[in-house]
Amino acid sequence: MRRIAIVMGLIVLLAPQIAAARVVRHGSIPQAYWGTWMPGTDACGGGDKSAVTLAAKTYKGPTGSCAVEYVSETPGAEGPIFSAHLRCSSSGAQKQTMSTTDLVMRPDKDGRIALGPGFETLVAYRRCDEKAK
């Protein structure tokens, strides 16, 4: 009976610390991710529709332009994983509409990053040389 009480006491003390995901909220995309990125091995070039450009408070990509509302940072095995909450606008024939979406950013191999709206849809991107733009 005493062992059960000790185990239960440890569970009660440690459970809140284990459950805390250690999420840190930021106001902008980390500087290490700023720049223009291309998926896979595509060549970087001016006006390419598949390019993604990340800045402190903006995202520009194939789906349009978005403002960064906040970024959540969570520890990961390969390094911190960031999830940017974006507010995007799209102009329709009659009015402009606002939508929200998330962009997951995770470090990848060889200086690449993985980007996508969720973990199941992440795509590897490589940084474009500033001179190539």
Beta-bridge partner residues of 114:
106, 124
pLDDT value at residue 20: 57
* Residue-wise DSSP of 58-114: EEEETTEEEEEEEEEEE--TTS-EEEEEEEEEEE-SS-EEEEEEEEEEEE-GGG-EE
pLDDT value at residue 5: 52
45-85 residue pLDDT tens? 766 688 999 999 999 988 789 999 999 999 998 899 999 99
**Percent share of the chain, pLDDT over 90:** 53
SS (H, E, C) 37-63: EEECCCCCCCCCCCCEEECCCEEEECC
pLDDT value at residue 19: 52
Indicate the pTM of the whole model.
0.75
- What is the Cα–Cα distance from 126 to 106, expressed in whole angstroms? 12
Q: Hey, what amino acid is at 9?
A: G
Whether 68 contacts 86, CB under 8 Å? yes
Q: What is the mean pLDDT of the chain?
A: 82
Q: Hey, what amino acid is at 45?
A: G
